[in-house]
Chain A
Amino acid sequence: MRKMKLAAIMLLAVLLTGLAGCSAGSGPAAEGKEGDTKGYPKHPITYSIPFDPGGQSDLEARRQQPHLERILGTSIVITYKIGGGGAVGWTELAGKKPDGYFMAGINVPHIILQPLLQRDAGYKTEQLEPVAIFQSTPVGLAVRKDSSIQSLEDLIRMAKDKPGALTAAGVGTYTGHHMTHLLFEEKLEAAIQYIPFTGAAAAMQSFLGGNTDLLWGNSNDLVSYKDEFRLIAIGSAERFTALPDTPTFIEQGVDLIAGIDRGVAVPQGTPEKVVQELEKAFLKIAADPEVIRQMTAEGFEPKAMGAAESKAYIKQLKAEYEPLVAELRP
């Protein structure tokens, strides 16, 4: 009994010293003063993903992780803050200390549309300082192989014959797919019923099962299914590398460019030097030929937009969406 008591005391002592050591170790790091950008980064950087683990944003971050760690010379900790189509994660980012030790993946147009359309999105687009945009997936329109629709021309004719009778599956409401659909209807001056789904997989399953006539899909999904579908048009500016046989909307006389861009952002007010440091790292990865090869094969369009360019791009898109949104929410 005595021995046990002694052992317990010793264990306690060891644990307590360990504990004290830990808290002492994390002390100065936690106090990292803002403005002190010399020698950045001094300790691990958190890379937050506002979507499910295993989603495209996560896969991209995991692809960048080893490169980032090599270039920045510190470890990158990937965490998840999921919910609200990304809104929860971006709300957290907007409220974080702007010291460059917390960044999050961003998706365009999500970060523009949510604050415009939701009463309580929790953040403003301007609160997220973009560092880089490194990937884009053009959105395309597909029909099943057995569909009577052969081309965009057929589609337009059918939509005008019977307004609202054609249905198109896409991901979510007030999202990139939804906006693309609305723009498409506006340019066509025809009505097609948009059917939102909770995710790309659900939309795909329902479309393959014959529940909707059309499908709005991201290029990477369309690439894996190119033998099952007939692709009517794609929303890239020029023909898409991975789908060379698919004409663009513009080629077919519909002035529509649509896609979803992925990038990374830090909280507003982060010192410029820190943003530059991160920007350099992300652009270096974006220029890596192996990364470019992998992304292209998976059906993405590699991009390398820096901080200033990304910011201007987001601003320009926001101006484009505002009138459209005003119609949706009077």
Chain B
Amino acid sequence: MTDYIPVVIEVLSNPLNLLLLVASLIAGIIVGALPGLTVTMALALLLPFTFSLPADTSLIAMGGLYIGGMFGGCISAILINTPGTPSAIATTFDGYPMARSGKPHHAIVTAVLASGIGGIIGALALLFLTPLLSSLSLAFGPPEYFWVAMLGLSMIATLSSGSMLKGLIGGCLGLLLGTIGIAPIGGESRFTFGLAPLVAGLELTVVLIAFFCIPEVLRIVENRITGERIAYRKEKGVVAQMWNRLIRRPFLLLRSSVIGVIVGIIPGAGGNVASIISYDAAVKFSKDKKAFGKGSYEGVAASESANNAEVGGSLVPLLSLGIPGAPPAAIMMGALMIHGITPGPGLFTSQAGLVYTFLWAFLLANVLLIVLGLYLSGPIGRIINIRMDVLIPVIIFLSTIGAFAIRNNFTDVVMMVIIGLAAYLLSRLGFHPAPIVLGLILGPIAEVGLTQSILIGQAKDHVFAFFFTRPVSVVLMVLCALSIAVPLADKWLRSRRGSGQRQGKEEAE
């Protein structure tokens, strides 16, 4: 049972392996920070080298790249309002306002600490709870996917900062944008209007850039603040300050990480869903709801700890069932196969040395991420100190190259420009990007769950029961109902109190 320990220590004390781990972490952070470059692509580039490297070394490098990439996405989310990877989507909600108010360093330190802690919790779950969690992963069938998507969509109630009606309309628009292209279950192409490039559907990264980056660029140019810089205040003791704040909210990090792990073990639901659901939970549990969206460190911490905990979660079905929970995990599976190792049931016993080496390296990588991230946070934060008239074209340039590189498709650049201009118009009309993007991310998950459930339910003659009686479904439905009811009740109570006060005033006059 414990005879793998010497192997683990031997491999992890090898300086070459450690060096490779650090290098792959840094490479991952760079890839993650640049929109359009994905961890999946970087892992594929690494793949040919793994032919010649030993299995443990290549797994260590791949793990480092994966973890680094998941963290790196927060850098561009905080600095330029564009998530470097879709997983950092909720980080933009508060990270960018923090940066704009002159606290990019605080935001990045928060992200580093939250990512590291989330990653460590994910790694511990992977290390000790894999058998337990793998059975939970199998409990998610089509109806459960549908309800998970609904749970995410219920967040529109929280996110609609202005009017709830406009939030709902935005959500519908996002869901419809997500249906462009070939229907995942029906198989027919929809809303392509005869244009072949639309058959593949809209790429999430392109839409994210269009919705978060282009309108922001237009706003800055239009407001004539181009000659200025964001007031970057250099402060000492940022790390200690943020650490103290986070440690006083242990439940925030723990809750977010648990959400991350659970979303991770559901194959097909990735870091973006984890970060959204966790952000939503943070808002709901917080006493100071008003602070969110305006630069709350809690929002950054919730999003970042969840998406890094998701990495550990996504490896659970891979190692225990042989089912890759996310595209990067699929490449790691490919690398294992090259070495003649088939992931799946029995891997933990047949390849104990390798698996535990990987798991401990994974844990170590998260610790290294904290050290490395804190070290780099100062210089990265200072990037924002560039004059706006230089920063703006660089942002346009990076968005464009990112939109192209994600699928090597020039049509995506054109789509980015068109959707970006439309997004600006929509935000002027009071339709905020968050609900629209939420619909786009969760739409396909909801549609697949819905249509598959209908098909299976029809075959078994009980569509209704299939949706509403399965235990995990029931739990998710209750969560959905609570998620919608709590903010509504809250709003209602507040408006009653508010109107009561107004009446009082009128009487006084």
Determine whether the beta carbon of B196 is less than 8 Å from that of A298.
no
Determine whether the beta carbon of B267 is less than 8 Å from that of A202.
yes
> What is the CB-to-nearest-CB distance from A330 to chain B, in angstroms, rounded to a whole number?
14
Determine whether the beta carbon of B448 is less than 8 Å from that of A198.
yes
Determine whether the beta carbon of B40 is less than 8 Å from that of A53.
yes
Which residues of chain B are near A91, meaning CB under 8 Å? 196
Determine whether the beta carbon of A83 is less than 8 Å from that of B407.
yes
Determine whether the beta carbon of B408 is less than 8 Å from that of A80.
yes
Cα distance A79–B44 in the bound complex, in angstroms: 10
Which residues of chain A are near B317, meaning CB under 8 Å? 205
Do A53 and B459 contact each other (CB < 8 Å), given the known contacts A81-B408, A198-B184, A227-B345?
no
What does the 1/0 interface line of A115-134 toward B look like (CB < 8 Å)? 00111111000000000000
Determine whether the beta carbon of A83 is less than 8 Å from that of B323.
no
Instruction: Tell me the residues in window 278-330 of chain A with beta carbons closer than 8 Å to chain B beta carbons.
Output: 297-298
- Most A CB within 10 A of own CB, among B44, B140, B203, B333: B44
Cα distance A211–B195 in the bound complex, in angstroms: 36
Cα distance A212–B455 in the bound complex, in angstroms: 11
Determine whether the beta carbon of B199 is less than 8 Å from that of A88.
yes
Query: Quick one: which of B40, B196, B267, B337 contacts A205, CB cutoff 8 A?
Result: B267
Query: Quick one: which of A66, A88, A205 contacts B138, CB cutoff 8 A?
Result: A205
Cα distance A193–B268 in the bound complex, in angstroms: 23
Determine whether the beta carbon of B334 is less than 8 Å from that of A54.
yes
What does the 1/0 interface line of A56-83 toward B look like (CB < 8 Å)? 0011001001100000000000011111
Stretch at the interface among B96-104, B151-159, B324-332, B473-481: B324-332
Question: Does A165 sit at the interface, judged by CB under 8 A?
Answer: yes
> What is the CB-to-nearest-CB distance from B468 to chain A, in angstroms, rounded to a whole number?
16
Instruction: Tell me the residues in window 190-235 of chain A with beta carbons closer than 8 Å to chain B beta carbons.
Output: 193, 195-198, 201-202, 204-206, 208-212, 223-225, 227-228
Cα distance A248–B493 in the bound complex, in angstroms: 67
Determine whether the beta carbon of B199 is less than 8 Å from that of A165.
no
Question: Does A52 sit at the interface, judged by CB under 8 A?
Answer: yes
Stretch at the interface among B67-75, B185-193, B210-218, B424-432: B185-193
Determine whether the beta carbon of B200 is less than 8 Å from that of A212.
no
What does the 1/0 interface line of A22-65 toward B look like (CB < 8 Å)? 00000000000000000000000000000011110011001001
Cα distance A52–B137 in the bound complex, in angstroms: 23
29 A–B contacts, CB within 8 A, in A order = A53-B40, A53-B44, A54-B330, A65-B48, A66-B48, A83-B181, A83-B407, A84-B201, A88-B200, A91-B196, A117-B187, A118-B199, A119-B189, A122-B199, A164-B459, A165-B459, A167-B456, A167-B459, A167-B460, A173-B186, A175-B187, A195-B455, A196-B184, A196-B187, A196-B452, A201-B323, A204-B323, A211-B456, A298-B337
Which 6 A/B pairs are nearest by Cβ-Cβ distance? A83-B200, A173-B187, A54-B331, A53-B44, A122-B196, A209-B138
A interface residues, Cβ below 8 angstroms from B = 52-55, 58-59, 62, 65-66, 79-85, 87-88, 91, 117-122, 164-167, 172-175, 178, 193, 195-198, 201-202, 204-206, 208-212, 223-225, 227-228, 297-298
